[in-house]
Amino acid sequence: MRDMIAWVRRQRLFGLEFICGSDVRTVGEALLHDARAPTGHWRSVVTPNVDHLVRYSRHPAERRVAESAHFVLADGMPVVWASTWLRRPLGDRIAGSDLFAYLWRRLMEERRPILVIAGNDEVVRRLRDEYPAAAFIVPPIFRVDDDAAVDALVSEIHARISADPVEFVMIGMSMPKHHLLAARLSALPTPEQGGPVLLLFGASAELYVGLQRRAPVWMQRHGLEWLFRLVQNPRQMAKRYLVDDLAFLGIVWRERRRSSGSNRQ
């Protein structure tokens, strides 16, 4: 059976094939369908927001993960607004945290296998209380430039899913780390039973179990989640949101110029 991505609409934007005109339920059911169809290749789901797109412009290895992703979902209202201004509308935002919550509940309902790479033991405890059949790995703290630590974790994940097949691997780590792990895993042969779907969902599990606070719905709708996070953690977030992410304006402007150039040809 063909992957359901064949029936999901896509829109090319910022050099990526975004899913467009869909909602969390539609995307979730498509992924649940696809995960049951064994393949000989790895499939990743990425959820670019402004931070991601800025990093993609500066880190080619991370960008390659997104370019080859099974699903690319717009997680961030500024990305959705930019798509409308660029006359290539994506429709509604699909947040990774919302999609994780949907998939987690559906996996519990159907008793389907998932491996969660969790950031800490408390996430594992709370998720395991809900779904004891899920598998978990809590890696030690590591840096992305520590090749030995990264290789050890990739080997552990690959060994685990080869011995105990799963349909999904949810990597609950920072963007640089989960993109790096996806790239390293994708360079390996898939397990004999086929490659699982890699969900690069960052802090979604921590938000789901209540270890991190999410912005109120009205702030999400108005694209103000960045402000909520900035107030919560100004020391860590100030440079990202007030300095680094300004590069997104240039990314959007260059995309507009490319589009205008293509239309004139």
- Who's near 123: CB < 8 A, 6+ residues apart? 116, 138, 172, 205, 206, 209, 211
Around 138, how many Cα atoms within 13 Å sit in the side-chain half-sphere? 10
- Name the pLDDT band for 119 (thresholds 50, 70, 90): very high
Question: Any idea what the Cα angle at residue 178 is, between residues 92 and 153, rounded to 5°?
Answer: 155
d(CA 100, CA 254): 32
Is pTM beyond 0.85? Reply is yes
> In 3D, which of 255, 251, 248 has the Cα closest to residue 50?
248
Q: What is the pLDDT of residues 53-98, one digit of tens each?
A: 999 999 999 999 999 999 999 999 999 999 999 999 999 999 999 9
